[in-house]
Structure 1
Amino acid sequence: MLEMDAQKLTDLLRATIEPNPEQRKAAEDQLAQIHKIIGFVPTILQIVMQSNVDQPVRQAGAIYLKNLITNSWSDHESKAGEPIPFSIHEQDRAMIRGLIVDAIVHAPDIIKVQLAVCVNHIIRSDFPGRWPQVVDNISIYLQNPDVNGWNGALLTMYQLVKTYEYKRSEERVPLHEAMNLLLPMIYQLMVNLMNDQSEQSMLLQKQILKIYYALTQYTLPLDLITKETFSLWMEICRQIAERPIPDCSHIDDEEKPEFPWWKVKKWALHIIVRMFERYGSPRNVVSEKYQKFAEWYLPTFTSGILEVLLKILDQYRNHIYVSPRVLTDILAYLKNAVSHSYSWKLIKPHMVAIVQDVIFPIMSFTDADQELWETDPHEYLRLRLSKKKPHNKTRNKALSRINVGSATTGKVLKNAGVLPHVEKAWYMSMGAAARGYKWADVFKLSRNAACNIYGVLSDVVAFMPFKNSSIHSELCYLCPGEDLASHLNPQESGTEPSVTKWKRQLKYTGCNEELSYDSSI
Structure 2
Amino acid sequence: MDLPSLVVVLQAALNPNPAERKAAEQSLNQFQYTPQHLVRLLQIIVDNNCDMAVRQVASIHFKNFIAKNWAPLDPNEQQKILQSDKDMVRDHILVFVTQVPPLLRVQLGECLKTIIHADYPEQWPRLLDWVKHNLQDQQVYGALFVLRILARKYEFKSEEERTPVHRIVEETFPHLLNIFNRLVQIDKPALEVADLIKLICKIFWSSIYLEIPKQLLDPNLFNAWMMLFLNVLERPVPLEGQPVDPELRKSWGWWKVKKWTVHILNRLYTRFGDLKLRNPENRAFAQMFQKNYAGKILECHLNLLGVIRVGGYLPDRVTNLILQYLGSSISKNSMYTLLQPQIDVLLFEIVFPLMCFNDNDQKLWEEDPHEYVRKGYDIIEDLYSPRTASMDFVCELVRKRGKENLQKFIQFIVEIFKRYDEAPVEYKPYRQKDGALLAVGALCDKLKQTEPYKSELEHMLMQHVFPEFRSPVGHLRAKAAWVAGQYARINFSDQNNFRQALHSVVSGLRDPELPVRVDSVFALRSFVEACRDLNEIRPILPQLLDGKWYSKMMATWSIHSNFFPAEIFKLMNEVENEDLVFTLETIVDKFGEEMAPFALGLCQNLAAAFWRCMNTSEADDEADDPGALAAVGCLRAISTILESVSRLPQLFVQIEPTLLPIMRRMLTTDGQEVFEEVLEIVSYMTFFSPTISLEMWSLWPLMIEALADWAIDFFPNILVPLDNYISRGTAHFLTCKEPDYQQSLWNMISSVMADKNLEDNDIEPAPKLIEVVFQNCRGQVDHWVEPYLRITLDRLRRTEKSRLKCLLVQVIANSVYYNAVLTLSILNKLCVTTEVFNLWFHLLQQVKKSGLLANFKREHDKKVCCLGLTSLLALPGEQFPGEALERVFKATLDLLVAYKGQITGLSLSLSIYIYVYVSV
Establish whether TM, by shorter chain, passes 0.5.
yes
2:130 alignment partner in structure 1: 137
Distance between the aligned counterparts of 1:155 and 1:38, measured in 2? 29
| Greater helix proportion | 2
More off after superposition, 386-395 vs 126-135: 386-395
- What is the Cα deviation at residue 198 of structure 1? 0.8
1:236 alignment partner in structure 2: 228
- Given that 1:180 and 1:224 are in contact with CA atoms closer than 8 Å, whether structure 2 keeps it comes out as no
Deviations 1:409-456 (A, max 9, x none): 425525x93332222222322333xxx44201x2x2111111111222
Question: Using a 3 Å threshold, how does the CA distance of structure 1 residues 230 and 478 change in structure 2: closer, same or farther?
Answer: same
Distance between the aligned counterparts of 2:420 and 2:455, measured in 1? 17
Q: 1:20 aligns with which of 14, 17, 20?
A: 17
Q: 1:438 aligns with which of 404, 418, 426?
A: 426
Deviations 1:313-358 (A, max 9, x none): 1111011111111111110100001110000011011111111111
The amino acid of 1:426's aligned partner reads F
Structure-to-structure mapping, 1:144-155, within 5 angstroms: 144=137, 146=138, 149-155=139-145
Q: 1:417 aligns with which of 408, 420, 441?
A: 408
Question: Using a 3 Å threshold, how does the CA distance of structure 1 residues 390 and 459 change in structure 2: closer, same or farther?
Answer: closer
Whether 1:95 aligns to 2:88 is yes
- Given that 2:320 and 2:384 are in contact with CA atoms closer than 8 Å, whether structure 1 keeps it comes out as no
1:60 alignment partner in structure 2: 57
- Secondary structure of 1:167 counterpart: coil
2:300 alignment partner in structure 1: 308
- Given that 1:328 and 1:393 are in contact with CA atoms closer than 8 Å, whether structure 2 keeps it comes out as yes
Q: What stretches of structure 1 of length at least 5 have no aligned partner?
A: 494-500
- What is the Cα deviation at residue 17 of structure 1? 1.9
- What is the Cα deviation at residue 219 of structure 1? 2.0
Deviations 1:338-391 (A, max 9, x none): 110000011011111111111111111224434544665443221222233379
- What is the Cα deviation at residue 254 of structure 1? 3.4
The amino acid of 1:393's aligned partner reads S
Whether 1:10 aligns to 2:19 is no
The amino acid of 1:88's aligned partner reads I
- Secondary structure of 1:94 counterpart: helix
The amino acid of 1:466's aligned partner reads P
2:255 alignment partner in structure 1: 262
The amino acid of 1:222's aligned partner reads K
Deviations 1:174-226 (A, max 9, x none): 22212211111112111111133210101111111111111112222234543
Distance between the aligned counterparts of 2:387 and 2:350, measured in 1? 11
- What is the Cα deviation at residue 406 of structure 1? 6.4
The amino acid of 1:102's aligned partner reads V
- Given that 1:279 and 1:286 are in contact with CA atoms closer than 8 Å, whether structure 2 keeps it comes out as no
Whether 1:274 aligns to 2:260 is no
Question: Using a 3 Å threshold, how does the CA distance of structure 1 residues 49 and 392 change in structure 2: closer, same or farther?
Answer: closer
- Given that 2:166 and 2:214 are in contact with CA atoms closer than 8 Å, whether structure 1 keeps it comes out as no
- Given that 1:155 and 1:207 are in contact with CA atoms closer than 8 Å, whether structure 2 keeps it comes out as yes
1:128 alignment partner in structure 2: 121
More off after superposition, 329-338 vs 418-427: 418-427
- What is the Cα deviation at residue 480 of structure 1? 7.0
Distance between the aligned counterparts of 1:140 and 1:295, measured in 2? 37
Q: CA RMSD for the aligned pairs?
A: 3.5
Distance between the aligned counterparts of 1:368 and 1:222, measured in 2? 45
The amino acid of 1:453's aligned partner reads A
Distance between the aligned counterparts of 1:282 and 1:78, measured in 2? 46
Q: 1:181 aligns with which of 156, 165, 171?
A: 171
Question: Using a 3 Å threshold, how does the CA distance of structure 1 residues 224 and 462 change in structure 2: closer, same or farther?
Answer: same
- What is the Cα deviation at residue 122 of structure 1? 1.0
Q: What stretches of structure 2 of length at least 5 have no aligned partner?
A: 468-483, 494-500, 509-514, 531-920
Whether 1:476 aligns to 2:442 is no
Distance between the aligned counterparts of 1:223 and 1:367, measured in 2? 48
1:496 alignment partner in structure 2: none
- Given that 2:194 and 2:253 are in contact with CA atoms closer than 8 Å, whether structure 1 keeps it comes out as yes
Larger radius of gyration: 2
Distance between the aligned counterparts of 2:242 and 2:459, measured in 1? 44
Deviations 1:441-481 (A, max 9, x none): x2x21111111112222232234332699877533314679
1:452 alignment partner in structure 2: 438
Whether 1:160 aligns to 2:153 is no
Distance between the aligned counterparts of 1:486 and 1:69, measured in 2? 56
Question: Using a 3 Å threshold, how does the CA distance of structure 1 residues 280 and 392 change in structure 2: closer, same or farther?
Answer: closer
Distance between the aligned counterparts of 2:378 and 2:489, measured in 1? 29
More off after superposition, 270-279 vs 58-67: 58-67
- Given that 2:447 and 2:454 are in contact with CA atoms closer than 8 Å, whether structure 1 keeps it comes out as no
2:910 alignment partner in structure 1: none
- What is the Cα deviation at residue 54 of structure 1? 2.3
- What is the Cα deviation at residue 512 of structure 1? 6.0
More off after superposition, 221-230 vs 272-281: 221-230
Distance between the aligned counterparts of 2:101 and 2:198, measured in 1? 18
Structure-to-structure mapping, 1:215-230, within 5 angstroms: 215-230=207-222
2:200 alignment partner in structure 1: 208
- Given that 1:466 and 1:472 are in contact with CA atoms closer than 8 Å, whether structure 2 keeps it comes out as no
Question: Using a 3 Å threshold, how does the CA distance of structure 1 residues 307 and 465 change in structure 2: closer, same or farther?
Answer: same
* TM-score in terms of structure 1 length: 0.85
1:497 alignment partner in structure 2: none
- What is the Cα deviation at residue 163 of structure 1? 0.9
- Given that 1:44 and 1:61 are in contact with CA atoms closer than 8 Å, whether structure 2 keeps it comes out as yes
Question: Using a 3 Å threshold, how does the CA distance of structure 1 residues 109 and 129 change in structure 2: closer, same or farther?
Answer: same
More off after superposition, 356-365 vs 473-482: 473-482
Q: 2:238 aligns with which of 246, 257, 265?
A: 246
More off after superposition, 184-193 vs 15-24: 15-24
Question: Using a 3 Å threshold, how does the CA distance of structure 1 residues 480 and 206 change in structure 2: closer, same or farther?
Answer: closer
- Given that 1:270 and 1:329 are in contact with CA atoms closer than 8 Å, whether structure 2 keeps it comes out as yes
Distance between the aligned counterparts of 1:190 and 1:73, measured in 2? 34
The amino acid of 2:86's aligned partner reads R
Question: Using a 3 Å threshold, how does the CA distance of structure 1 residues 228 and 101 change in structure 2: closer, same or farther?
Answer: same
More off after superposition, 292-301 vs 7-16: 7-16
2:730 alignment partner in structure 1: none
* TM-score in terms of structure 2 length: 0.49
2:760 alignment partner in structure 1: none
Question: Using a 3 Å threshold, how does the CA distance of structure 1 residues 56 and 219 change in structure 2: closer, same or farther?
Answer: same
Q: 1:397 aligns with which of 383, 389, 398?
A: 389
- What is the Cα deviation at residue 159 of structure 1? 0.9
- Given that 1:423 and 1:470 are in contact with CA atoms closer than 8 Å, whether structure 2 keeps it comes out as no
Whether 1:426 aligns to 2:417 is yes
Q: 1:35 aligns with which of 19, 32, 37?
A: 32
Structure-to-structure mapping, 1:285-300, within 5 angstroms: 285=277, 290-300=282-292
- Given that 2:447 and 2:453 are in contact with CA atoms closer than 8 Å, whether structure 1 keeps it comes out as no
Question: Using a 3 Å threshold, how does the CA distance of structure 1 residues 409 and 17 change in structure 2: closer, same or farther?
Answer: farther
- Secondary structure of 1:404 counterpart: helix
- Given that 1:72 and 1:88 are in contact with CA atoms closer than 8 Å, whether structure 2 keeps it comes out as yes
- What is the Cα deviation at residue 118 of structure 1? 1.1
Question: Using a 3 Å threshold, how does the CA distance of structure 1 residues 374 and 47 change in structure 2: closer, same or farther?
Answer: closer
Higher RCO (CA-CA < 8 Å; seq separation 6+):
1
- What is the Cα deviation at residue 276 of structure 1? 0.6
